[in-house]
Each structure stands twice: as structure tokens, then as C-alpha cells.
Structure 1
Amino acid sequence: MNSQYKAQDVIRCDLCDTDIPHMYCDICHINLCKACVMEHLSDESKDHKLVSFNKRGSTINCPKCQRHSNKICELHCNQCNLPICTLCVSSGDHEQHTKIDVLEHLRNRKDVIEKDLKELKESIYPKFQEAASKIPIHRSGVRKNSKELTEALKKQADALHAEIEIIVKDMQSKINDMDAQHLAEIDKQEEALNQSINDISQVILDLQKLLDSNDVSLVSEYTSKNGKFESLPVQVHVYLPAFIPQKINKKQIHKQFGILLKQVITYPTGQLVETQVIATEERVGLTKTSGGMSITISDEPQILTEINTEFGGWFIRLHSVSSLSDEEIWTSGNDKIMKLFNLQGELIKSIQTESGNKVMDIAVTRGGNLVYTDYKDKSINIVTDEQIQQLVRLQGWKPYGICCTSSDDLLVIMDSDDRKETKVVRYSGATDKQCLQLDEQGQPLFPSVTSFDYRYLTENRNLDVCVADNSNHAVVVVNALGKLRFRYTGPPSSKEVFHPRGIATDSQGRILTADSDSSLIHIVDQDGHFLCFVDNCGLQRPWGLCVDSNDNLLVAEYKTGKVKKVKCYQ
């Protein structure tokens, strides 16, 4: 048995297993007493290296040659990445290869190991520890959120119950009022009948007396009163109230009660695998790989449909398009009218702003309701069943672009009245939940300019907020926490000034933005790397953008007033 597995209180010679070892063979890894040293050295089939027992393990353990088993490797071949002996060298197999001393190779590898060890200790391990330390926080957050959801459900249920109680109490009060009115009429009828009965009873008594009387004068004076009683007192006819219960519409109740949004679990994207895009490739649809995902962009985008919105011309330009479904789209321009079209170009309906002011931008909620911003009125509005309701009236700020997120929040970009500040605000209904304005260094994410200019925004599938900031010639992308991820200012090879207008994202997280001045659509991956242009399908001054459920691009042309449905991907 090897000495390292024996009881640790007494270490013995591995040959005789009796005496305490004084020597150690660093090649054979054997403990030796003085009496067994010569016996061990007598084995000349292998090399030996004897050291005192206290210095065991100090000798460099060079490997044995795989081809010449009786030789120790003193060199290392870099090309073969193998230890080699002198016989290997003399055989000529490694003649053209770079060879270094095995000890130098050992030092080099130990340097690498030391570097890796340092990185593991100082960087990697603490990072994993930090991530692990956040797990209880995340778990606590889930439980806290679940508790808040439960409380919100109970609050909503209590509110619904309260509304039902109010309805029941109101109806019960009306029943009580009707009962009181009905009973009062019955009491009056009873009183009239009782009075008539008393009168009739008295007449009967009087007639009975006349029959028993022989007084000619009294009998001759009798006049019949039966005609007075031929008709009953006026009878009150009351149609009793009734309750007609309506069939309970569970779907409608569920819709009125609220919507439980699904959780969104995101993972950081993989390491970007970049493919070089040279100038001649910028205008063709090569397959590019980003984050491990292969995407194919068509080199010949096709216009599938054209819709004439009746916007356009010199005075009423088309600005925005938003998809209600794959068959219907909302549109707006620098006018007070918003129009809903089907893809056959038929006008479904028109809505005028409540204030009569021009529309700044439009979006469609997940529930299918139209929302719009009114710059002059400083308001955010929602259209439900063709009724306009003001959600938010801003104080000191004027809204530009608006979009609806995957969680049905509203993102609105706005300028201060003096145009010195710009921010993006997230709203849940009429409640502001988040403000994105400054980066981690306290600098503006969206530097303001003194002149008026349009700004549009959208949310990507990884919950990034993407802003087309034409004033600063950039698409600014921040994550859900408001941390700046990147600024895209156009492809590296382009010398043209970038003028981003409308912006949209597709199902793969690609960002599409319209450069109206150059009549181009830029397609960028979710990490800000330019992929290609859409510029060869006859688009004229593209402005507003949106994407349907099949990743077809809907483009609002500023001057022509047309919405074009474009197939960009294969």
C-alpha cells in the first residue's frame, strides 16, 4: 500500500514496511529506509532520483517518453505540443519544429496557470459569488412581487364586490321606494273601499227601517241611492316591478377585472460573433451572425401593398403608422385626424383629436386601443370605443413620440417647455413608473436642442428602450433600468449625416429606423452593429415605421402619404 494512504501517525518504508524512511525516490515516488536504498537502485530498468525524505517532491518530475519508455523527456515540441526525449530529436521527426527546454515549458505553463488562478480568485470567483448573493434577493423579489400581486388582486376583487354591493343597494333602494309607493296606493284604495262599505251599511239600515215603517210620508220621500254604489271606487292597476338578470359574460368580467401580464425572463445575449461588412456588402443581404443567431436579410426587398392615406402633399404630411392587426393600420400626420385603414386601402374610421390640435404621434395598446400625444395640449390620450379620454396632462413638459410596451405600459419621450431637457417616462395607465433622463455619469441620455424636432421611440424584445433622436443624429438605446447600452450614428463606412425618424423592432430584436432625408431604412442588430440598408425598393422619404406579426415592415412615406408594406427578410 502506498504510504500516503497509511495511518498518518507512522510513515514506513514502502519496500520493507518496517523501518521509518530516510530517503525518497522523486521519480518512483517511493519511501525508502537506509537498508532498502541499494535494493531500489538495483532496478536499472528505470531512472531514479533519491532525495532526503524531508525534501521529497522537490525534484522536477519530467515525463517519460511515450515512444522511448526508458527515456525521460527533457524537451517540449511546440508544434506537436508533446514532451520529447533526445532520441525523438535524433530521429528527425521534430527537425523543423520549435523545441524548448521542458523546464522552460513548465515555467511558461505555470505562468498561464498563475494568471488563470489570479483571474479566478480576483475576478471570476467574486463575480459568481456576487451573482449567487443576488439569488436570495431575486427570490425575495419574486415573493414580494407575488404578495403585491395578490394584494392587488384582492383590492381589485374588493373594488368589484363594492361596485356590485352599490348596484345591489341601489336596486334594493328602488325596490323599497316602489314598494312604499305601491302600498300607499293600496292603503288609499282600502280607505276608499272601507268608506263605501260603511256608507252602504248605513243605507241598508235606513232601508230596513223604511220597510218596517208605515209612515206614508217617509216612504214616499225615499229616493234610491243604489246608483251611487253601482261602481267600485277607482281601482289602481300596478304592474309589479321585475328583475331580469342578464347572462353573465365571463369574458367581459375578466376584461373589466384586469389583465395578468406574463412574466418576461431575459438572458444576456451571447458573445457577439462579428462578420466583417465591407463597403460593397452594405447594400446586399448577406447572412450575418449576431449573438449566435443566424439571420437572413433579403437582397431584394419587395413592396407587398400600397395604401393611399390621403395624407401627403405640401400641407398635411404623413408621419406615423401603427399596426392594429395584420389587416388594419392606424395612421396620422401633421393634422388633427387619425385614420384607420384596412390593407385594401379602405378607410374604416376617422377620429379627431379632442382638442382639435395636431397629432404628434400614435400607438396601439395590447388591448387594441389607440393612444396619441397632443404636443400643444401637453396631453396623452386614449381612444376607447371612439370615446377619447385624457390619461395624462403634463405640467412643464410637451410630449413627442409614444409607444406601447410588452407589459402594456406606455413610453413617452418629451421635452421641457424651454427645450433644455429631454426625458423618457414610463406610464402604467396614468401613473408614471420610471424616468429615463441621465446616464451613470449624470449626463443627459438625450441632449436637448433649442429648436423643435420630432423624436420617436420603441421597445425591443430584450426590453431595451430605443429612441430615434434626430436632433443628435443618433439612435440611443438604454436597457430597462435606464443604463446606456449604445448610440448608433450610422454605419462606419458612411459619410452621410444620419437623420433617424421612425423606429421599430422586429421579432429577432433587430432595430429598424428610417433616414427620411436619404430615403433609407437602416437595419441594426440589438447590440448596435450595422447590418444593411433597405434602399432598393422605391421608398420615398420614409418616416413612420412599424412591424407586423410576420416581420413585414410598414413604412409611412412623408410626402406621398402612402403606407407601403415591405417584405425585408427571406
Structure 2
Amino acid sequence: MDPNPSAQDLHRCDLCETAIVHSYCDFCHVNLCKLCVVDHISDGYDKHKLVPFKERRSTLTYPKCGTHPQKSSEFQCKSCNNILICSSCITSEQHRGHIFLEISEEYKTMKKVIEKETEELENRISPKYEEIAHDLINQLTNLDGEYEELTTEICKQGEQLHQQIDIIINKMKTEISEIKINHRYILQKQLDKIEQIQSAIKQTLLNMNEILKSTEVSPIIEYSSKVREFNKLPLKLKASKPAFIPKPINQEVLYDLFGQIIPLSTNTEENVLKLSLPKPSVGELLDEPELVATIETGHEKLHKIITCLNGEKLLTSGESGDIKCYNNQGLLINAIKTHSWYIPTDIAVDVYGDILYTTDSSRIFVTTVKTAQIKGPIFFELGSQPINMCVTSTGDLLVFKYITFLYMTNQCQLGRYSGSNLKQKIQFDDDGKPLFSRTRDMKYITENRNHDICVADSGAYSVVVLNQDGKLRWRYTGYTGIPSINKIKSFKPFGITTDSQSRILTADSDNHCIHILDQSGKFLRYIDNCDLKNPYSLCVGTGHILFVSECNQSHVKKIRYLR
């Protein structure tokens, strides 16, 4: 019996077919037990090669020659596309002068290759596939939980939105109640006045009846008309109840206000040994941004450009005093005449698609894109003049104001407004130092996707970035890396905008370029080609297109800077 039995059949002797194999003949390729070994070599043939069974097949088994079937092919003819030949073929006329190679050498070489690849597959590649499979299994296991977290976040956002709506509803109810009390007071006051007159008329009638019943002459002779006294009726009071004018609910705008679902994105990283699933890819910056088109606006001097309505329309303003609306292809949709003698200093678009614009006055004008109908100005505090502004993702209005009231002359202040109601005042840092320059230089402002407030303060020669609470996060005063001979003037930013990846783009007019920063203030690169000359105002539209106006020019350049 075999001392190490297994589930497989034991190897038996090829001669007696019963005893367990002990040896192997590498020349004859037969299994032999101890007893049959003697019989096998008893024929006197001197080429028998006996080895222990576990070391069998150390002698190579060559294929038969195709030309001489009785012989083995132990050579390759390199001159005949490596065909296998025997020793007789070598001396034949067909292979005279050819180059030959022993198959045993090729066998040894390829065997080492196979052994090495076997080790590579077993020890390196196969474990990597196991690792990848394990990672995918974990992702599948955690999939339901991750999507449940995502759904919970959306529901939480919905609850917060409902809370805000309830707050608005309750505020309006309170306002209506107050109006109702005032309405009641006005009506009651008028009623009291009428009732007093009615009482006086009744008393007069009583007196007149007494006179008529009396036979005395004097009261009748001395009577003066009472009709004339009461003949002039009081004005009829008609107090109309207040009206509620609901804003049309734009589902797209509401969806944008609610939040954004970043679509599922899968990506593979090329690696010989590893397949991974990294975070969703983002738009890469082009090494060489390209000028796509130039839009001629007709403005004498273009001041401000801004995209609106999900980036599908472009608004422009300039010294011509009107606001022009274009589509992304540069076709004029309509021109909106501003309702002021002054030129707009800044324009913005609210969440309802209405246009807001500032002038050199203490109010912001509101009008519609389609009809240019005035919807009423927003008034500000006495002595304050709104200059630059932007509308936030929550519908608030961020407004830069210059305070010119008495002792506060030349103060610059940033306010967050809901309508005309001041919600937040931003002016100083934690050390009591001004966050912004006091000069009357423009301070263009925008909100980043992470709710940071980004300000291009040309008077301070810096970009100032604050968090949502108005706390200073960082300042950028220009790229301090390898100097460029083309950018020798001081960094003085004007226009500022952000893109879908929270990058910040700001116009460096004096150096004829645009700086691109990440949301932490790290410099990424310049846009300094596309024949830019004094870039001034910026905005990003759909399709990763950057719109750029140039100082004292009338056109807008469309630049693609992302893949």
C-alpha cells in the first residue's frame, strides 16, 4: 500500500500493471516497479536511463521528423522559418548551407521563461486580481448604504427647504395679520365718525318735532336750516384688502436652488498590475486655451458681462446706457433701456431671472429680461451707495457699498441683503482691520460653489476670499513662482468668476492675462494667449466657455480653457 494515499489513483507499473511504481525509464518512457526494473534492462540495450519516479522525464521527448518518421526532430532550421528537422535533414541537399539550432537550447530558454511567468502569475498578478475583486465586492456590499446616505442628505435638504418655506409663510401671515388690524382700525374709525353724525341727526329730528308740536311762535320763526348742515355727506371710504402676487415657480431654478447631483462617473487608471476606480474625473485645464469666437456688442465701451438663465444667455452693459441680451452664439435677443440718467455700474440676475443693476444712486433697479418692465427699485440706507453686487445660490444679494454719510466718508462695506433687509454686514477682519480697500476702485464680487465670497479688489491689488460667515480665508496678490518677463506690472485684478470645479478666474488687465486659482488660492496657470489685451470682465457659461471683455473695447471673446 502507498503510505500516502490520496483521492487520486496510484501510479502502477506499466509491465506487471499491479505493483506500485518505483522507477522510470527516461528513454523508453515507462513506469517500473522494483521487480520489473531487472526485466526491463535485461535486453542489454545500453540507452536505458533509469531515474526515481519523482524525477521522471528529465530526458526530452522530441517530435518525429516529418521527412524521416523513424527519426526524432532535434534541430530547428533558422533559414526555413524554424521548421523542425532531424540529423538526416541537416545533411540533405534541401538544407545545405542553412543555419541550425538545437531544440534542447530553445527548450531550456523557453522553460525558464515559463517558470518565470508562472512565478509572476502566482506571486504578483493573481494576488492583484484578488485585491481588485475584493475591492469591487466591498464596493458592491457598501453600495446600498452609500446611496441611502445620499438619499438621506437630499431628504435633509428638503426638510431645511420646507422649514425656510414655513418661516416665509409664517412671516407673511404675521404681516397679513398686522395689515388686517390696521384695516379694521381704519374702518372702525370711519364708522365711529358716521355713527356720531347719525346720533346728531336723530337729536336734531327730536328737536324739530318738538318745535312742530309747540304753539310758540319764537322757536319756529328763529329756526335755521339743519339740512344744509348734514347735506354734505362724508367721503365714502373703500379700503381694499391686500393682494398676494405669487412668483411663478420655475422648476429649473428651483432645482438649481435645491442642490445638484453630480452624475455617476467611472474612470480607470492605466496600470500594468492594478485596476482602480478613482474619484470622479474633473475637467482638465487645456495647455493652450483657444479663442472660439468674438461677439460684437455695439457698446461704445463695454463694462460688465454676465451669464444668466442657466448660462444660456449673455447680458452686457456699457457706456451706451442700455443692457443687451445675447444668446451663446452671439445673436442679439433684445436691448433693455435702463431707467436712469446714469450708466449702470454693475449688473446681476436674481433667481427668478430678473435683471438687477446699480447706478450712481442709493438704489438698485429691478427689471425683467423679456419685457424690460420695471419691478420696483431696492432702496438702501441713507448715505450708502451700492456699486458692485452678485446674487448668491440662496437668493441673497451681496452688495458692495460706499458709505458717504457724515464722519463715515470713504468707508467700504459689504452687505448681504434679502430684498431691502440687511442680514449681514462684512467690513473688518478679526483684528478689526478693514477687509477691503477704501478707494472707489471697483470691487467685483462673485460666490463660489462652496459658498465662499470671492472679491477682486483692484484698490488692494489682491483677490480677497471670505467664507459664508464673512471670515477671511485667504488673499491672493499674484503668482510668486518663476517670474515672467511678460508680466512685469503689479497684479491688479478686475473681473472675477468661478467655474463648475470651484476654480477662481480673475482678470489681470495690466499684464494682459487671466489667473486661474483653485478654491484654496493655489495658482494653477495663466490664460495669456488668445490675443488678450487688458481683460476686464469675466463670466463662465455652458460648455466650459469663458466670456471675456477687454477694457474700452466693444466685443466679447469666447475662450475654451477646459477639455
Q: TM-score, normalised by structure 1?
A: 0.50
Code of the aligned partner of 1:536: N
Q: How far off its partner does 1:347 sit?
A: 2.6
Q: SS of 1:310's equivalent?
A: coil
Which of 502, 524, 545 aligns to 1:509? It is 502
- Which of 303, 307, 314 is the equivalent residue of 1:323? 307
Q: Distance in 2 between matches of 1:382 and 1:344?
A: 26
Distance in 1 separating the partners of 2:256 and 2:286: 35
**Pairs within 5 Å for 1:24-173:** 149-154=165-170, 156=172
SS of the residue aligned with 2:536? Answer: strand
**Alignment counterpart, residue 555 of structure 2, candidates 554, 562, 565:** 562
C-alpha separation in 2, matches of 1:295 and 1:309: 30
State the match for 2:473 in structure 1: 485
Matches of 2:257 and 2:508, distance apart in 1: 35
What amino acid maps onto 2:353 in structure 1? G
Q: Is the 8 A contact 1:548 1:554 kept in 2?
A: yes
Displacement of 1:358 after TM fit?
A: 0.9
After TM superposition, give the deviation of residue 332 of structure 1 in Å.
Answer: 0.7
| Secondary structure of 2:463's aligned partner | strand
Task: Quote the residue 1:421 is aligned against.
Answer: 411
Among 450, 456, 463, the residue aligned to 1:475:
463
Alpha-carbon deviations, 1:62-108, whole Å to 9, x = none?
xxxxxxxxxxxxxxxxxxxxxxxxxxxxxxxxxxxxxxxxxxxxxxx
* Cα-to-partner distance string for 1:199-218 (whole Å, 9 max, x where unaligned): xxxxxxxxxxxxxxxxxxxx
Q: Which residue of 308, 314, 317 corresponds with 1:332? A: 317
Structure 1 Cα separation of the partners of residues 256 and 172 of structure 2: 15
Aligned partner of 1:463 in structure 2 is 451
- 1:411 aligned to 392, 395, 398, which one? 398
Give the 5 Å matches for 1:1-40: none
- Identify the residue that residue 423 of structure 2 maps to in structure 1: 433
**Alignment TM-score, normalising by the size of structure 2:** 0.50
| Residue 518 (structure 2) pairs with residue 528 (structure 1) | no
Distance 1:264 1:356, change over 3 A: same
Are the aligned partners of 1:379 and 1:394 in contact in 2 as well (CA < 8 Å)? no
CA displacement 1:527-560 (0-9 Å, x = unmatched):
0111100011112221111111333111112232
- 1:91 maps to what in 2? none
Which of 395, 400, 415 is the equivalent residue of 2:387?
400
Task: State the Cα deviation string for residues 495-553 of structure 1 (Å, max 9, x = none).
Answer: 53011001000011100001112211110110011110001111222111111133311
Q: Secondary structure at the match of 1:508?
A: coil
CA shift at 1:488, angstroms?
Answer: 0.3
Distance 1:440 1:427, change over 3 A: same
Q: Which whole-Å CA distance do the structure 2 matches of 1:477 and 1:525 have between them?
A: 12
Q: Which amino acid aligns with 1:484?
A: L
- 1:217-256 aligned at under 5 Å gives the runs 254=249
C-alpha contact 1:302 1:566 (8 A) present in aligned 2: yes
Q: Identify the residue that residue 201 of structure 2 maps to in structure 1.
A: none
Q: 2:287 aligns with which of 278, 287, 299?
A: 299
Deviation (angstroms), 1:457 = 0.4
Aligned partner of 2:296 among 288, 292, 308: 308
- Alpha carbons 1:411, 1:426 under 8 Å: kept: yes
Deviations 1:179-236 (A, max 9, x none): xxxxxxxxxxxxxxxxxxxxxxxxxxxxxxxxxxxxxxxxxxxxxxxxxxxxxxxxxx
Hey, what's the Cα distance between the residues in 1 that align with 2:558 and 2:256? 30
Distance 1:157 1:506, change over 3 A: same
2:349–2:355 contact (8 Å) kept in structure 1? yes
What's the % identity of the aligned pairs? 37
Q: What are the ranges of 5 or more consecutive residues in structure 1 without an aligned counterpart? A: 1-139, 164-249, 267-290
The alpha-carbon deviation at position 145 of structure 1 amounts to 8.5
Q: Which amino acid aligns with 1:409?
A: D
Q: CA deviation at 1:305?
A: 2.2
2:443–2:458 Cα contact (<8 Å) kept: yes
Contact 2:312 2:542 in 1 (8 A): no
Q: Does 1:360 align with 2:350?
A: no
Q: Secondary structure at the match of 2:415?
A: strand
The alignment yields a C-alpha RMSD, in angstroms, of 3.5
Kept after mapping to 2: 8 A contact 1:400/1:456:
no
Rounded to whole Å, the distance in 2 between the matches of 1:143 and 1:335 is 46
Residue 347 (1) aligns with residue 338 (2)? no
Could you tell me how far apart the structure 1 residues matched to 2:284 and 2:427 are? 35
The separation in 2 between residues aligned to 1:558 and 1:253, in whole angstroms, is: 38
Alpha-carbon distance between aligned partners in 2 of 1:251 and 1:414, rounded to the nearest angstrom = 30
Inter-partner Cα distance in structure 2 for 1:255 and 1:506: 23
| Secondary structure of 1:471's aligned partner | helix
CA shift at 1:352, angstroms? 2.4
Gaps of 5+ in 2: 1-155, 180-244, 262-278
Tell whether the 8 Å contact from 1:320 to 1:331 is kept in structure 2 after alignment: yes
Q: Does the residue aligned with 2:438 lie in a helix, a strand or coil? A: coil
Cα displacement (A) at 1:151: 4.0
Q: CA deviation at 1:153?
A: 2.7
Partner of 2:372: 386
Matched, 1:551 2:541: no
How far off its partner does 1:462 sit?
Answer: 0.7
What is the total number of aligned residue pairs between the two structures? 313
Q: Offset at 1:455? A: 1.5
Per-residue deviation at 1:434?
1.1
Deviation by residue 1:454-482 (Cα, 9 ceiling, x = unmatched): 12000001101000000010000000011
